[in-house]
Amino acid sequence: MTTPSWFYTSIGLAIVIQTATLAVGVALQSVAGIGLAVAGLIPFALVAWLQLARFRRVNGVWISGIASRVVFGGGAAASTLHFLALGIALWAAFEERWWLVGVCAIAGGVAYALCGALWMRSYRADPAANSRGESIVVVVAVIVVLLGAAVTLILQSAH
């Protein structure tokens, strides 16, 4: 299995954008801020779709683990590091320490990409043990919760 050019780098950069826009958007505590937070998801969604399509075209196969573990950060290390970077970036944004928001966003994006590369290495070492991803039920449940949280934030800021 080979990854397309710029695979991990583009995913990491999309996470940098997502983390920074989410932190700044939530800290603004306004409808425009929530719009910024939601808009930060667009580059991630585009990169995810593009890289998954490129992976399929290059390899001719679909590995559910590549989507859930690498692109969507479903592995324990990737999700934990992303959560920590996002949490510190949110705190920094509320404290108006914009430089720290940037540092956290970059660190989170680098960690996310490295976790994806490490997962791919473990997949190559033992494909049978690492090929499965999260169930579709879990993925849908997480998306529903995140969308519900975004709607709640928008409704709260409108009052």
34 in a structural domain: yes
Structural domain total, the chain: 1
Tokens 């991630």 -> residue: 44
46 in a structural domain: yes
CB neighbours of 49 closer than 8 A, spacing ≥ 6?
none
2 in a structural domain: no
pTM score over 0.85: no
The boundaries of the domain holding residue 24 are 7-158
52 in a structural domain: yes
pLDDT (tens digit per residue) in 104-154:
999 999 999 999 999 989 888 888 776 666 565 665 666 667 667 666 766
Contact 21, 40 (CB under 8 A): yes
1 in a structural domain: no
pLDDT (tens digit per residue) in 53-71:
999 999 988 777 788 888 8
